[in-house]
Amino acid sequence: MSIRLVRVNSSHAQARFEALSDVRVSKWVFIDLPVSEAKTKQWCETVGERSSRIDFCFEVEGKAAGFAGLVNINQTSGTCELYIFLHPSFFSQGLGSKFLYYLLAYGKLELNLRKISLFVTGDNDKAISFYERNGFTTEGVLRRHSWFRGEYRDRIIMSIFTDALSTDAEPFYQENL
């Protein structure tokens, strides 16, 4: 199976719009509703110009299967925040774990980041166990912190130190970029 990390560009706009328009994704991802096709297109066209973040589309056999990024990159501290979502037709096949690994490997090998964090909504049990299975640990809970989909929600902060990752540079650079 060929899996590639491709920087987000205008060719990904339709797939990103479709994924974000699905309630199984929008229920958990901090995106303004209703999702706008025009804004998604504009975002895909311009996001590559921003220096404090890097956004990828994961292409499986040439199809856009999911999106993920490293944002708020701080080179002094070696930190950033991560987000990830898949198109629901690619859920539960082990692809999320693969994509997460590639993203973490990119953060460690290419950006020399030290610690990668993320925020997850307190009731997103699937994502929390997904992150735990992939080496993240909880650092704290911001209680009733964010107004999201009609309620104040807990936000859990989870992190991973990249020195704990076993990443082999050679296959990573040869196979995935």
Ligand X SMILES: CC(C)(COP(=O)(O)OP(=O)(O)OC[C@H]1O[C@@H](n2cnc3c(N)ncnc32)[C@H](O)[C@@H]1OP(=O)(O)O)[C@@H](O)C(=O)NCCC(=O)NCCS
Residues that bind ligand X (CB under 6 A): 25, 28-29, 84-86, 91-97, 120, 124, 126-127, 130
CB 68 to ligand X: min, Å: 8
CA distances 150 to 19, 33, 115, 119, Å, are 21, 12, 32, 18
Cβ-count burial 97-113 (b if 16+ within 10 Å, e if not): ebbbbbbbbbbbbebeb
CB 76 to ligand X: min, Å: 25
Q: Residue 70 and residue 56: Cα distance in Å, rounded? A: 9
Nearer to ligand X, 75 or 151 (CB): 151
Nearer to ligand X, 95 or 104 (CB): 95
CB 9 to ligand X: min, Å: 21
Among residues 173, 140, 174, 143, the alpha carbon closest in space to that of 159 is found at: 140
CB 95 to ligand X: min, Å: 5
Cβ atoms 64, 4 nearer than 8 A = no
Nearer to ligand X, 8 or 127 (CB): 127
Give the number of residues written for the chain. Answer: 177
Nearer to ligand X, 73 or 96 (CB): 96
